[in-house]
Chains A and B, each alone.
Chain A
Amino acid sequence: MDLTLTESEAAFRDEARDWFAKNHPGETPRGDEKVEFEFRRSWQKTLHDGGWAGLSWPAEFGGRGASLIEQTLFNEEMGAADAPLPANVLGLVMGGPVVIAHGDEAQKERYLEPILSAEEIWCQGFSEPESGSDLASLKTRAVKSDGGWKITGQKVWTTYAHEAKWCMLLARTDQDAPKHQGITYFLLDMDQAEVEVRPLRQITGEAEFNEIFLEEAFVPDENIVGEVGAGWSVAITTLMFERAGLGALAVVGLGRAYEELLKLIAERDVGSDPSVRERMAKLKIGLEAMRLGAMRTLTATMKTGIPGPEASLGKWEWAVLNQEMTDLATEILGVDGLKSDEEWTYRFLRSRANSIEGGTTEVLKNIVAERVLGLPRLR
């Protein structure tokens, strides 16, 4: 056990710190979602040109072959520099890693570079109106046609579908197989008339996510990841990367938010309130446990390649902590914490999704109970 950085890790961190100091794009424009998204796209391009996008991806696909530790150090520096998130989060966190893990050579050649440069944005078409937590019950249907598949059905809550070129799409290719076996993992080109995207407005007022209507949308055979009928295991890999990735980014974001909360407490002069002190101490303990847990997951993942079910704990902790932190902040703010244009109010509302997106907390508890503790499966 050694939590100090090696010389080369420290050098890497300094290099990242230096780079952020020189290349920070300035304040993210707020108010217009499109403008904000394009700002983050061009920021990602800058990251990519600097060689910082997809750090841990193999060098032959535009990454740096960096270790997961270096990726973490980079994330920490990104947080410390208060730099914006890149635009293509789903491609970077899930799409690319899944193609690297399960894709063939041609797919790696085709998809990875444009993910890094943010030329092609990715989205995740898993959830359906009737299939949320019970994802394997999905009904979107793929029918064999010449050289590919025609897909019909509906997806929902699809983040960034309105910006996306590619969709990681789960569809049923075998109606008769048991529910986990008839599913295939497609990469759907969103640029076709047979794909209709309708925005869904969220509780925060923004429209980050969408509905997708598919009417015989075409996907060629070469756009299948893994084998026909073997999409479920690719989907599980995607979710593992999603939870681990969200957890890792969240550690950085939460740490920064905690600092802001300390400032707020000083400004509002509530630091002597015993309940504020108690809640802040609990939050600090939770944040540290989460940061250290992420380090442990990282050490384990370095040995196995793909994050295991214990990464679910980090995603679960994130939801608990972010909701508690924004709850405390808005409570301290009083009426200001109800104002629509207050940043903490926005975060407070947005954090309500944390225990739903990427697997609800209840589903994560099921996973921990069944896959980590070996309790009987719920039937």
Chain B
Amino acid sequence: MNFDLTEDQREIKDVARQFLESRCKLDDVRKAADAGSYDEGLWKEICELGWPGIATPEADGGQGLGMVELATICEELGYACAPVPFMGSVIDSLVIAAGGSDEQRARWLPNLATGEVRGAAVMVDSSPWVAIDTEGATVVVTPDSKGVGRVGEASELEIVPLDLIDKTRSYGEVASTDGFGEELPPEHYQGVLKSQVALSAEMLGLAQRAMEMAVDYARDREQFGRPIGAYQAVSHRCAEMLYAVEETRSLVYYAAWCADAEPETLPLAAAMAKAQASEASWSVVSSSLQVHGGIGFTWEHDLQFLLKRARTDGRLLGTPKQERARVADLVGV
């Protein structure tokens, strides 16, 4: 028994961190957000690195690695708040891999893995139905916890653009999926559980970054003749951020490991990870804002990107309340 990334997994994470540190600074995030578009150059490089297909089976044109590896990438993309259509393509890949027919797999998975086509995903458990990563998407999945999901061409579905606070990815609203695309049998839902883990890993990265920003600021900023981090009202806030981030880290990587090694535990593990990551990432980003004072509230400050993405992620693929209800069911309350 060993709860630590393997050397290979750590290497993947470190390489991702280094790459994104040079290629996706918060200034770049701002440029993309201001332009209301993705960072297409960055996305191209990410596809060349093979990240979209990291957890797609080799037979389907991916790298055939596991959810733990995918989680490390998602965490780093969250840490960078990268404005790329990664999550939609990953959700599509996971859902089609879990429930798609041979023909559907052959049609979509290799192209999603290389980034040749982009995927959007519609969350039919939310109200209204929100689609993510709609911009430039060719394929859409509409997973559904109540049974049958759907997959089809984006051009066949009416998606109305949705202006959400998070400007680092594109969103849309879908009123109906009647008659859309082809059916996916209930097994596709395993892919949704995995997607919850991926999204939770992204929130972990967002929270980690917001915490580091708060800690750095608390060390530098002086008031009343000393760094504000010397005041317990501030330092205890930061300690509470670490508590939240580390609990999230444990639950996210556990869920990722369950997806690979113990799928029967995944429903509970994914619900716990999603509830925790949604709640914790919001509490950390909002607490980080408080540590920053007035500057943290400005449009000029980069914290806004983390805060808005965390708030949005927390409401996609299951709210904390919905996921906790699931946990209560699964433990038998």
Contact = CB atoms under 8 A, between A and B. Distances in A.
Partners in one complex: yes
Contacts of A362: 232, 236
Interface stretch (B96-104, B163-171, B250-258): B250-258
Given A369-B236, A373-B215, A4 B272 contact: no
A365 B240 contact: yes
Given A281-B328, A284-B327, A369-B236, 4 more contacts: A262-B331, A284-B328, A375-B218, A376-B227
Given A284-B272, A375-B215, A376-B227, A300 B239 contact: no
Contacts of B250: 288-289, 292-293, 295-296
Interface in A249-296: 262, 265, 271, 276-278, 280-282, 284-286, 288-290, 292-293, 295-296
B6 A1 contact: yes
Contact of B272 (A2, A285, A377): A285
Interface of B is mostly: helix
Interface in A151-202: none
Nearest to B227: A376
Which range holds the interface residue count of chain A? 35 or more
Contact of A292 (B3, B242, B328): B3
A281 B230 contact: no
B254 A288 contact: yes
Interface in B219-261: 219, 226-227, 229-230, 232, 235-236, 238-240, 242-243, 246-248, 250-251, 253-254, 257, 261
B324 A282 contact: yes
Contact of B251 (A271, A277, A289): A289
25 contacts: A1-B6, A265-B333, A276-B333, A277-B328, A277-B333, A278-B321, A280-B333, A281-B324, A281-B325, A281-B327, A281-B328, A282-B324, A284-B327, A285-B327, A288-B254, A289-B250, A295-B3, A296-B4, A298-B3, A317-B243, A366-B236, A368-B242, A369-B235, A374-B215, A378-B230
Contacts of A113: none
Contact of B325 (A262, A277, A290, A378): A277
Contacts, number: 146
A317 B232 CA distance: 19
Interface in A287-337: 288-290, 292-293, 295-296, 298-300, 310, 313, 316-317
A170 to B, nearest CB: 25
Contacts of A377: 230
Contacts of A69: 1
Given A262-B332, A369-B238, A376-B227, A2 B261 contact: yes
Contact of B230 (A280, A373, A376): A376
Q: How big is chain B's contact interface, by range?
A: 35 or more
A21 interface: no
A313 B240 CA distance: 10
Nearest to A6: B1
Interface of B: 1-6, 9, 68, 215, 218-219, 226-227, 229-230, 232, 235-236, 238-240, 242-243, 246-248, 250-251, 253-254, 257, 261-262, 272, 275-276, 321, 324-325, 327-328, 331-333
Contact of B236 (A299, A365, A372): A365
B272 A3 contact: no
Interface of A: 1-6, 9, 69, 262, 265, 271, 276-278, 280-282, 284-286, 288-290, 292-293, 295-296, 298-300, 310, 313, 316-317, 362, 364-366, 368-370, 372-379
Listed from nearest, the 4 A-B pairs whose CB atoms lie closest are A292-B250, A281-B324, A289-B247, A369-B235
